[in-house]
Structure 1
């Protein structure tokens, strides 16, 4: 009696486990997705799916569909493959620049409604057609999606680009004191490369800065624990003077001054420490006077670059630094709500203050 009952229970358990099984070979694990603006304002979606069959000569599957919405694209793409499409392994979402100019919040909101998609998925703008970049093979990389994901992770860890995720983009979009940002990548022929940082007004891509200025933006936006900066300090005695700063540590302090009549002054004070990795000048850095002169020159270089970047942001009415957050925190709720920040922001007086300290300089003579 008991043996028969045990056998029945065991069979039921085994049957339940079998119904819940997801065999890897039968799943299409979407690792990278790209979206572009197609004709008649339709959406072109491209999925990159790794091939797990060790006997296959292909390393990935590429699926493309043109539809009216992101969800409809998924339905159409699932009909092109004999695998069950799942999004739990999605790592990066690439948006073509033309689609980004139209606005991304609708598409990002659709992605966030899928409970299987993680909030940490990278959000990236492609300079051009995202589907074409994703479909291309960059040797020796066998999977462009994985290659791009590793590239974004490496560059964001060094402070060169902001680590923008679905969560970060959505958070900044819904915050009325800051605008979203995202890294920009492009096809450089035989490789993909970081070409800059995209700045959004609300959810629309309106301007970008080159990748080489990414560290200046990072200094404006907050503290950094690791970074590199190459500063060109002009010519002296017919020779170009370049200093390469490494292992940069930045402490940022901000303050808001009320000037009356909805006018504000915003002060960003950066205290930067770093190591001189390269120096083409003739000054002997073992002498404190020469070292302090170089510190002043680098501080002036960073300050000028930062002021110019702030000017560009204000001209495009893009508050990517988050000045509005600090102004909001200095006001009452009623005063902030009555303030038209988009109208006030371009006229805010912004002052960048920079102090540079050389931690070590090697054996430069």
Structure 2
């Protein structure tokens, strides 16, 4: 009896060992993709590149770049397996880069493919490259041997200051599938000896339509969402032939949206940005310790922000991109039946949108 039990236990342990063998992952044999790029190639195929860090201490290179042309993302992974002695996996993917030409024709199918892969996290960063994404990923910039990691860290830094939106795979797909807002993503370009953030890409559904410059990114952010950090340099004209510049920092913003029904399917929308911040630099002649002069500067800052915000709104309506999510607030003011019968894409360009800014200077340092 004991002998039979021992045989059964041995067989059971053997089965466990066999199962572990099929699931084992040896780190040195894995090619863990950290950054991937996708570009439009001939015949509507994809040029796909994947950057894999090399962990061999005896290697003279810090990464391996795999590039192929394929009909789909998953087909490219099969091609990569033929080009390396490593097992290519996507569990460490941090950033996906899409070339501008591919973004113009639509990214919906590729987003769907990435979402279906259970090994890819929803927090993967989503970036548009002004140019060829594979070329910038394959380039080595001075002091930055791993371009993918370089771009990733740069995006994290700028997003922390709300100069660009922190767009992940989840956030892009969420807005893409929402009928009341269009998705956005940061744009990066090759500037010779460095990569630079070139602005914010605005999409109509899954297609790139226009760009907001990097300098206006914080203004866009103030009217898109509530912010708890940021800074902006504003030019307020000239005084005695000298440019007047104010550096408004440590921004805290509360955004409110109010929808007015005008009848016959027409709407008026007011967006109010209530901003508090610190003046770290000011080249004008106002004495900020005097309340009246400080209030005058607050109005000047508010007027400048409002003018730029309304300029951006006009451009977005011309390109029919609802990147501020006006449709979400209009939808919330209607019944489900009214919203479905509205055809928001046709109504949005005609909506009367007004931006309002309230500025409060919390402190101005030791400036007198």
TM-score higher than 0.5 here? Answer: yes
Distance 1:154 1:4 in 2: 60
Counterpart of 1:81 in 2: which secondary structure? coil
Q: CA deviation at 1:138?
A: 1.2
**RMSD (Å), alpha carbons:** 1.4
Equivalence for 1:205: 208
Shift of 1:9: 5.6
Instruction: Evaluate the alpha carbon distance shift between residue 72 and residue 8 of structure 1 in structure 2; reply closer, same or farther with a 3 A threshold.
Output: closer
Of residues 315, 318, 322 in structure 1, which corresponds to 2:321?
Answer: 318
Measured in 1, the distance between the counterparts of 2:95 and 2:223 equals: 26
Q: How many residues align?
A: 365
Q: CA deviation at 1:51?
A: 0.4
Query: What is the aligned counterpart of 1:169 among 166, 169, 172?
Result: 172
The answer to whether structure 1 residue 272 and structure 2 residue 287 are counterparts is no
Counterpart position of 1:186: 189
Distance 1:308 1:246 in 2: 22
SS at match of 1:283: coil
2:349 is the alignment partner of 1:346? yes
Which residue in 2 is equivalent to 1:226? Answer: 229
1:320 alignment partner, SS class: coil
Deviations 1:62-116 (A, max 9, x none): 0111112222122112211111110000000000000000100101101111110
Q: Which residue of 2 aligns with 1:134?
A: 137
Q: Secondary structure at the match of 1:189?
A: coil
Higher mean C-alpha deviation, range 7-16 or range 250-259 = 7-16
Taking the aligned partners of 1:335 and 1:7, their CA distance within structure 2 comes to 69
Match of 1:241 in 2: 244
The CA distance in 2 between the partners of 1:66 and 1:204, in whole Å, is 22
What is residue 79 of structure 1 aligned with on the other side?
A: 82
Residue 355 (structure 1) shift: 0.6
Q: Separation in 1 of the partners of 2:154 and 2:67?
A: 24
State the SS of the aligned residue for 1:281: coil
1:93 to 76, 96, 108: 96
CA apart distance, 1:151? 1.0
Distance 1:225 1:345 in 2: 29
User: Deviation digits for residues 310-362 of structure 1, max 9, x if unmatched?
Assistant: 00000000000000011111111111111111111011011111110001101
**Paired residues for 1:1-365 under 5 Å:** 1=2, 13-365=16-368
1:160 Cα offset (Å)? 0.7
Unaligned 5+ segments in structure 2 are none
How much has 1:41 moved relative to structure 2? 1.6
TM-score by length of 1: 0.97
Q: Runs of 5+ in structure 1 lacking a partner?
A: none
Residue 230 of structure 2 aligns to a residue whose secondary structure is: coil
For 1:128-160, what per-residue CA distance to the aligned partner results, in whole angstroms no more than 9, with x for missing partners? Answer: 000000000112112111111111111111101
Q: Secondary structure at the match of 1:364?
A: coil
SS for the counterpart of 1:33 is: strand
Runs of 4+ in 1 over 6 A off after TM superposition: none
SS in 1 for 2:314: helix
- SS of equivalent to 2:281: strand
Q: What TM-score comes out, normalization by structure 2 length?
A: 0.96
Deviations 1:264-283, CA, capped at 9 Å, x for gaps: 00001111000001101111
How many Å separate the matches in 1 of 2:327 and 2:275?
24
Instruction: Using the TM superposition, give the Cα deviation of residue 16 of structure 1 relative to its aligned residue in structure 2, in angstroms.
Output: 4.0
Distance 1:67 1:14 in 2: 38
Compute the displacement of 1:18 (Å).
3.8
Q: CA deviation at 1:13?
A: 4.4
